[in-house]
């Protein structure tokens, strides 16, 4: 991939969007971890906690980018990312186990540890979208950090107001996953010489994930209505 080419900026946009669409949990964790602090310390906890979490995430993503070069791991990563795309559509947020810190460094530690535990989906998605380009990983995170820190509440409100944004995000994740699977060296030749099969595979993966999410959410909604009517 050439530096600052159309493909480069397309991948960068995908990484930033993935960072944002998967940042909802991070915003909730940051808010809950710092909620017991005085207001003047909350900003410091958010900044230091986010900085620590981002450093760990950059290192983890670079490690995953390297690991994805091992035979068959690109295929495994793509399949795992398909599951993450589906989970994004059907997950019910549970954050009862996030303990609020009573001191600045307790809150920072909570933010860093919780983000590291929850950030696997983001790391795999970004590593897949970067196509082995480490500069894209770093640039994508640097662009999305200010938005995650200062604009995550706004972005969460936007998603709540327009739920279809989640489906776009899930579709992008599924698209990235399909490309990862197609790029697996052991099976790449199957798609490389057949453009129709290649695009049909991508469309099929995206369709399966979005339809599965819609069906699961519809079934859950019917179940909840049935409970409420009793």
Q: Tell me: the pLDDT tens digits for 84-109?
A: 889 888 866 555 555 555 677 777 77
Per-residue model confidence (pLDDT) at position 83: 92
Distance CA 26, CA 31 (A): 9
Give the C-alpha distances (Å, rounded to integers) separating 113 from 10, 52, 71, 109, 195: 31, 9, 31, 6, 43
Distance CA 31, CA 49 (A): 11
Q: Record the tokens describing residue 77, joined without a space.
A: 């990563």
| Spatial CA neighbour of 180 closest among 108, 73, 88 | 73
**How much is the mean pLDDT over the chain?**
80
Per-residue model confidence (pLDDT) at position 79: 93
Per-residue model confidence (pLDDT) at position 45: 78
Residue 192, pLDDT > 90, answer no
Residues 6+ apart with CB under 8 A from 215: none
Helix (H) or strand (E) holding 173: helix 164-182
Strand segments (E) across the chain? none
Write down the domain spans for the chain: 6-228
Question: Mean pLDDT, to the nearest integer, of 188-200?
Answer: 91
Per-residue model confidence (pLDDT) at position 152: 53
Give the C-alpha distances (Å, rounded to integers) separating 173 from 21, 86, 177: 10, 9, 6
Q: Is pLDDT larger for residue 141 or for residue 80?
A: 80
User: How many other β-carbons are positioned within 10 Å of the β-carbon of residue 34?
Assistant: 24
Q: pTM of the full predicted structure? A: 0.77
Q: Is pLDDT larger for residue 123 or for residue 119?
A: 123
Distance CA 112, CA 166 (A): 25
Question: Mean pLDDT, to the nearest integer, of 109-124?
Answer: 73
Distance CA 189, CA 211 (A): 29
Residue 169, pLDDT > 70, answer yes
Per-residue model confidence (pLDDT) at position 201: 96
Per-residue model confidence (pLDDT) at position 40: 74
**Confidence category of residue 29, pLDDT binned at 50, 70, 90:** low
Residue 174, pLDDT > 80, answer yes
């Amino acid at each position: 991939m050439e530096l600052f080419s159309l493909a480069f900026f397309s991948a960068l946009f995908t990484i930033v969007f993935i960072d944002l669409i998967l940042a909802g949990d991070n915003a909730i964790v940051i808010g809950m971890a710092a909620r017991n602090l005085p207001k003047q310390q909350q900003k410091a906890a958010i900044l230091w906690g986010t900085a620590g979490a981002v450093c760990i995430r950059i290192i983890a993503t670079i490690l995953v980018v390297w690991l994805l070069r091992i035979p068959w791991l690109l295929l495994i990563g793509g399949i795992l990312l398909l599951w993450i795309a589906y989970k994004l559509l059907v997950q019910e947020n549970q954050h009862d186990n996030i303990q609020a810190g009573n001191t600045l460094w307790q809150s920072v530690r909570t933010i860093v540890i919780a983000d590291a535990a929850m950030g696997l989906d983001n790391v795999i998605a970004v590593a897949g979208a970067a196509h082995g380009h480490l500069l894209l990983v770093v640039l994508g995170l640097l662009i999305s950090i200010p938005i995650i820190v200062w604009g995550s509440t706004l972005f969460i409100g936007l998603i709540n107001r327009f739920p279809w944004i989640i489906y776009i995000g899930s579709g992008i994740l599924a698209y990235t996953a399909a490309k990862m699977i197609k790029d697996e060296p052991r099976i790449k030749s199957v798609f490389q010489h057949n453009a129709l099969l290649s695009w049909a595979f991508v469309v099929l993966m995206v369709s399966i994930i979005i339809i599965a999410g819609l069906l699961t959410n519809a079934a859950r909604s019917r179940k909840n209505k049935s409970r409420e009517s009793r």
